[in-house]
Amino acid sequence: MKVIDPHIHMVSRTTDDYLALAYGGIHTVSEPSFWPGFDRCGVDGFRDYFQQLTVVEPARAARFKIRHFCWIGLNAKEAENTKIGEQVLAILPEYLDSPTALGIGEVGLNKNSKNEIAMFERQVELAAVRNELMLIHTPHLEDKLKGTRIIMDILRNEPRIIPSRVLIDHAEEHTIGEIKDNGFWFGLTLYPDSKGSPARAVDAIEIFGADKLCINSSADWSVSDPTATLKTVNEMRRRGHPDDLIRRIFYDNPADFLGQSPKFSVA
């Protein structure tokens, strides 16, 4: 079974993890820009990071015949500092032009603050002007429902944004229905403690269907598992779901969403 992981933070993972992905049949990944676990002290830190995403990681992945794509954006956590944020917004187009950059992401909200919203609105505007795909980060835990609704209001208020070109990620049981009702793609993230398990992800597939759904590990520097998508494939097989449905969810769906960028191709 070949799998595409549309959201994984390989800059935070070991080379052994690339090997594990290759062994498991994950030969295509996309990596959104995110918060590194600390706030960077200036725009140069973002430059280094975007260089890592657009140049270093694709080469690192290629050693294992894995195709690596990325998303460029100002993450919600660091958007609180608008002074640095403004400088980061100014350099985004330079990196969005990279041959492996699929769009703007992951951007969105973290604690649903005034500054986060202002920086997110600016990036929605940039996506509209450049006709970029968007990959959206929704807040964690108790802030998710409120933040997801604010994000969707902002996106709906920008008529140039086409919902089918936006994936709203880290959806959970209480937000999936509204995301689908608004025509966006939704992502399910497999984190053992703070988001969903393979079993709950498969429950969501059964309840909400397989349309406009992508499942990801979002593996990063914290408690996470780069092979979580493979474990969810196994959960579907254990329950007796057919191989064509499994392939659709873990390969065809992400290929369809990411393939809206002309830069994307599968390995």
Partner 1 sequence: MIKNKQQLPIPLSSSQILDMSFLENRARLLEIAAFIDRIERSADPDTGKADFRYKSFIEGVRLLLDDSAAVKTSRIQINFSDPTTEPIASAIKLKAHGAWSGETNEGY
Residues that bind partner 1 (CB under 8 A): 77, 80, 110-117, 139-146, 149-150, 172-174, 194, 199-200, 203, 205-210, 238-241, 245
CB of 197 to partner 1, least distance (A): 10
- Cα–Cα distance between 29 and 7 in angstroms, integer? 7
CB 188 to partner 1: min, Å = 13
Nearer to partner 1, 110 or 261 (CB): 110
Residues 6+ apart with CB under 8 A from 84: 40, 41, 42, 43, 78
Shortest distance in whole angstroms from residue 183 CB to partner 1: 16
Residue number, 60 or 149, with CB nearest to partner 1 = 149
Measured distance CA(140)–CA(17) in Å, rounded: 25
C-alpha–C-alpha distance, residues 29 and 17, integer Å = 12
Closest distance of CB 112 from partner 1, Å: 6
Amino acid sitting at position 209: G
CB of residue 176 to partner 1, shortest distance in Å: 9
Q: What angle do CA 158, 128, 159 make, to 5 degrees?
A: 25
**60 vs 140, beta carbon nearer partner 1:** 140
**Judged by CB, which is closer to partner 1: 70, or 117?**
117
Cβ closer to partner 1: 60 or 241? Answer: 241
Contact 79, 116 (CB under 8 A): yes
Give the integer Cα–Cα distance in Å for 136 and 185.
Answer: 10
